Amino acid sequence: MDEKKKESELYKELGILTKDRNRWEESIPYVSSLLTHESVKIQAKALWLLGEMGLAYPLSVRDVVPEIASFFDSPVPLLRERAVNAFGRIGRGDFHLIEPYWTSLFRFAFDEEAKVRMVFVWASENIATNTPGIYENYMTIFEELLHDPDDKVRMEAPELFRVLGKRRPEFVRPYLEQLQRLSETDNNRVVRIHCLGAIRATV
Protein backbone atom coordinates (compact mmCIF):
# COMPACT_ATOMS: atom_id res chain seq x y z
CA MET A 1 0.00 0.00 0.00
CA ASP A 2 1.55 3.32 -0.98
CA GLU A 3 2.03 6.12 1.53
CA LYS A 4 -0.79 8.33 0.18
CA LYS A 5 -3.24 5.43 0.43
CA LYS A 6 -2.11 4.67 3.97
CA GLU A 7 -2.56 8.32 4.90
CA SER A 8 -6.08 8.49 3.47
CA GLU A 9 -7.10 5.19 5.14
CA LEU A 10 -5.77 6.43 8.47
CA TYR A 11 -7.49 9.78 8.05
CA LYS A 12 -10.77 7.99 7.36
CA GLU A 13 -10.26 5.80 10.43
CA LEU A 14 -9.74 8.91 12.58
CA GLY A 15 -12.91 10.40 11.09
CA ILE A 16 -14.86 7.34 12.23
CA LEU A 17 -13.29 7.54 15.69
CA THR A 18 -14.25 11.24 15.90
CA LYS A 19 -17.92 10.22 15.71
CA ASP A 20 -17.60 7.27 18.11
CA ARG A 21 -17.30 9.08 21.43
CA ASN A 22 -17.66 5.83 23.41
CA ARG A 23 -14.19 4.81 22.19
CA TRP A 24 -12.50 8.13 22.91
CA GLU A 25 -11.02 7.50 26.33
CA GLU A 26 -9.53 4.11 25.47
CA SER A 27 -8.17 5.50 22.17
CA ILE A 28 -6.16 8.39 23.67
CA PRO A 29 -2.83 6.46 23.72
CA TYR A 30 -3.30 5.41 20.09
CA VAL A 31 -4.21 8.91 18.88
CA SER A 32 -1.29 10.33 20.88
CA SER A 33 1.06 7.95 19.07
CA LEU A 34 0.04 9.57 15.76
CA LEU A 35 1.59 12.89 16.80
CA THR A 36 4.90 11.48 15.52
CA HIS A 37 3.40 10.42 12.15
CA GLU A 38 5.25 11.78 9.10
CA SER A 39 2.05 13.20 7.59
CA VAL A 40 1.12 16.76 8.64
CA LYS A 41 -2.50 15.95 7.81
CA ILE A 42 -2.51 13.03 10.29
CA GLN A 43 -0.68 15.02 12.97
CA ALA A 44 -3.18 17.87 12.58
CA LYS A 45 -6.16 15.50 12.85
CA ALA A 46 -4.64 13.83 15.92
CA LEU A 47 -4.08 17.20 17.62
CA TRP A 48 -7.66 18.24 16.91
CA LEU A 49 -9.06 14.95 18.20
CA LEU A 50 -6.91 15.03 21.35
CA GLY A 51 -8.38 18.46 22.07
CA GLU A 52 -11.93 17.09 21.86
CA MET A 53 -10.97 14.03 23.90
CA GLY A 54 -9.32 16.32 26.43
CA LEU A 55 -12.49 18.33 26.87
CA ALA A 56 -14.44 15.11 27.52
CA TYR A 57 -11.75 13.28 29.55
CA PRO A 58 -9.22 15.89 30.68
CA LEU A 59 -7.33 13.73 33.16
CA SER A 60 -6.83 11.00 30.56
CA VAL A 61 -4.88 13.34 28.28
CA ARG A 62 -2.66 14.68 31.07
CA ASP A 63 0.45 12.79 29.92
CA VAL A 64 0.24 13.99 26.32
CA VAL A 65 -0.09 17.72 27.15
CA PRO A 66 3.70 18.40 26.94
CA GLU A 67 3.84 16.71 23.53
CA ILE A 68 0.93 18.83 22.27
CA ALA A 69 2.75 21.92 23.59
CA SER A 70 5.85 20.96 21.57
CA PHE A 71 3.87 21.84 18.41
CA PHE A 72 3.79 25.49 19.52
CA ASP A 73 7.20 25.77 17.88
CA SER A 74 6.19 24.07 14.64
CA PRO A 75 7.08 25.96 11.45
CA VAL A 76 3.80 24.60 9.99
CA PRO A 77 0.97 27.07 10.73
CA LEU A 78 -1.68 24.31 10.67
CA LEU A 79 0.10 22.41 13.45
CA ARG A 80 0.52 25.53 15.61
CA GLU A 81 -3.15 26.28 15.07
CA ARG A 82 -4.24 22.76 16.04
CA ALA A 83 -2.02 22.69 19.13
CA VAL A 84 -3.48 26.02 20.36
CA ASN A 85 -6.98 24.74 19.59
CA ALA A 86 -6.32 21.54 21.60
CA PHE A 87 -5.08 23.60 24.57
CA GLY A 88 -8.31 25.60 24.47
CA ARG A 89 -10.43 22.46 24.69
CA ILE A 90 -8.27 20.73 27.31
CA GLY A 91 -8.05 23.98 29.30
CA ARG A 92 -11.82 24.27 29.24
CA GLY A 93 -12.03 20.72 30.63
CA ASP A 94 -9.40 21.30 33.33
CA PHE A 95 -7.34 24.48 33.39
CA HIS A 96 -4.73 23.01 35.75
CA LEU A 97 -3.54 20.63 33.04
CA ILE A 98 -2.47 23.48 30.77
CA GLU A 99 -1.63 26.05 33.45
CA PRO A 100 2.17 25.66 33.11
CA TYR A 101 1.86 26.61 29.42
CA TRP A 102 -0.95 29.13 29.62
CA THR A 103 1.09 32.33 29.41
CA SER A 104 3.03 30.97 26.44
CA LEU A 105 -0.26 30.85 24.49
CA PHE A 106 -0.26 34.65 24.34
CA ARG A 107 2.51 34.75 21.76
CA PHE A 108 -0.04 33.40 19.28
CA ALA A 109 -1.94 36.69 19.52
CA PHE A 110 0.90 37.99 17.34
CA ASP A 111 1.44 34.96 15.12
CA GLU A 112 2.23 35.82 11.49
CA GLU A 113 -0.61 33.54 10.39
CA ALA A 114 -4.10 35.06 10.78
CA LYS A 115 -5.76 31.67 11.31
CA VAL A 116 -3.45 30.99 14.28
CA ARG A 117 -4.34 34.37 15.79
CA MET A 118 -8.04 33.60 15.33
CA VAL A 119 -7.71 30.18 16.94
CA PHE A 120 -5.80 31.77 19.84
CA VAL A 121 -8.88 33.93 20.53
CA TRP A 122 -11.19 30.93 20.18
CA ALA A 123 -9.03 28.85 22.55
CA SER A 124 -9.03 31.72 25.05
CA GLU A 125 -12.83 31.83 24.94
CA ASN A 126 -12.89 28.12 25.74
CA ILE A 127 -10.54 28.52 28.70
CA ALA A 128 -12.34 31.66 29.94
CA THR A 129 -15.68 29.81 29.96
CA ASN A 130 -14.72 27.95 33.16
CA THR A 131 -11.69 29.97 34.36
CA PRO A 132 -12.50 33.61 33.57
CA GLY A 133 -10.55 35.26 36.40
CA ILE A 134 -7.13 34.58 34.89
CA TYR A 135 -7.75 37.02 32.00
CA GLU A 136 -7.94 40.18 34.11
CA ASN A 137 -4.47 41.48 33.24
CA TYR A 138 -4.49 40.37 29.61
CA MET A 139 -7.42 42.34 28.21
CA THR A 140 -5.23 44.80 26.28
CA ILE A 141 -3.99 41.93 24.09
CA PHE A 142 -7.56 41.16 23.05
CA GLU A 143 -8.23 44.85 22.59
CA GLU A 144 -5.45 44.90 19.97
CA LEU A 145 -7.05 41.94 18.22
CA LEU A 146 -10.29 43.93 17.85
CA HIS A 147 -8.28 45.98 15.33
CA ASP A 148 -6.50 43.10 13.60
CA PRO A 149 -5.98 43.57 9.84
CA ASP A 150 -7.65 40.19 9.21
CA ASP A 151 -11.45 40.08 9.07
CA LYS A 152 -11.76 36.61 10.64
CA VAL A 153 -9.61 37.61 13.62
CA ARG A 154 -11.72 40.74 14.11
CA MET A 155 -14.88 38.63 13.87
CA GLU A 156 -13.64 36.33 16.66
CA ALA A 157 -12.08 38.90 18.99
CA PRO A 158 -15.35 40.40 20.36
CA GLU A 159 -16.50 36.89 21.29
CA LEU A 160 -13.86 36.78 24.04
CA PHE A 161 -15.35 40.02 25.41
CA ARG A 162 -18.80 38.41 25.23
CA VAL A 163 -17.68 35.30 27.15
CA LEU A 164 -16.04 37.45 29.84
CA GLY A 165 -18.87 40.01 29.81
CA LYS A 166 -21.21 37.29 31.08
CA ARG A 167 -18.79 36.06 33.74
CA ARG A 168 -16.58 39.02 34.68
CA PRO A 169 -18.28 42.16 33.33
CA GLU A 170 -15.82 44.37 35.24
CA PHE A 171 -13.05 43.13 32.88
CA VAL A 172 -15.00 44.29 29.82
CA ARG A 173 -16.48 47.60 31.03
CA PRO A 174 -13.35 49.64 30.19
CA TYR A 175 -13.75 48.53 26.54
CA LEU A 176 -17.48 49.17 26.12
CA GLU A 177 -17.03 52.50 24.32
CA GLN A 178 -14.60 50.94 21.91
CA LEU A 179 -16.91 47.98 21.29
CA GLN A 180 -19.79 50.40 20.74
CA ARG A 181 -17.76 52.36 18.20
CA LEU A 182 -16.81 49.20 16.33
CA SER A 183 -20.42 48.00 16.38
CA GLU A 184 -21.30 51.16 14.44
CA THR A 185 -18.27 51.66 12.22
CA ASP A 186 -16.50 48.39 11.39
CA ASN A 187 -16.84 47.54 7.71
CA ASN A 188 -17.52 43.86 8.52
CA ARG A 189 -21.12 43.05 9.43
CA VAL A 190 -20.20 40.07 11.63
CA VAL A 191 -17.72 42.19 13.59
CA ARG A 192 -20.47 44.75 14.22
CA ILE A 193 -22.92 42.04 15.37
CA HIS A 194 -20.35 40.36 17.63
CA CYS A 195 -19.39 43.67 19.23
CA LEU A 196 -23.07 44.30 20.02
CA GLY A 197 -23.29 40.80 21.50
CA ALA A 198 -20.32 41.55 23.77
CA ILE A 199 -21.94 44.80 24.92
CA ARG A 200 -25.25 43.08 25.67
CA ALA A 201 -23.54 40.29 27.63
CA THR A 202 -21.71 42.87 29.74
CA VAL A 203 -24.46 45.33 30.53
pLDDT tens for each residue of 146-174:
999 999 999 999 999 999 999 999 999 99
Q: List, for residues 60-101, the tens digit of each pLDDT value.
A: 999 999 999 999 999 999 999 999 999 999 999 999 999 999
Cα 118 from Cα 132, distance rounded (Å): 19
Which sign does the torsion angle of CA 163, 131, 146, 84 carry? Answer: negative
Burial of 176 (0-12, 13-18, 19+ CB in 10 A): middle
Give me the amino acid identity at 115.
Answer: K
Distance of CA 159 to the CA centre of its chain: 12
Is 1 a residue whose pLDDT tops 60? no
Give me the amino acid identity at 127.
Answer: I
Cα 143 from Cα 195, distance rounded (Å): 12
Helix (H, G, I), strand (E, B) or coil at 24: helix
Burial of 22 (0-12, 13-18, 19+ CB in 10 A): exposed
Cα 63 from Cα 60, distance rounded (Å): 8
Give me the amino acid identity at 105.
Answer: L
Label residue 19 by pLDDT band (50, 70, 90): very high
Q: Are 84 and 72 in contact (CB under 8 A)?
A: yes
Give me the amino acid identity at 74.
Answer: S
Is 34 a residue whose pLDDT tops 60? yes
Note the pLDDT of residue 3: 73
Is 203 a residue whose pLDDT tops 80? yes
48-66 burial by CB neighbour count: b if 16+ within 10 A, else e? bbbbbbbbebbebbeebbe
Residues contacting residue 171 through CB under 8 Å, at least 6 positions apart: 132, 135, 136, 139, 164
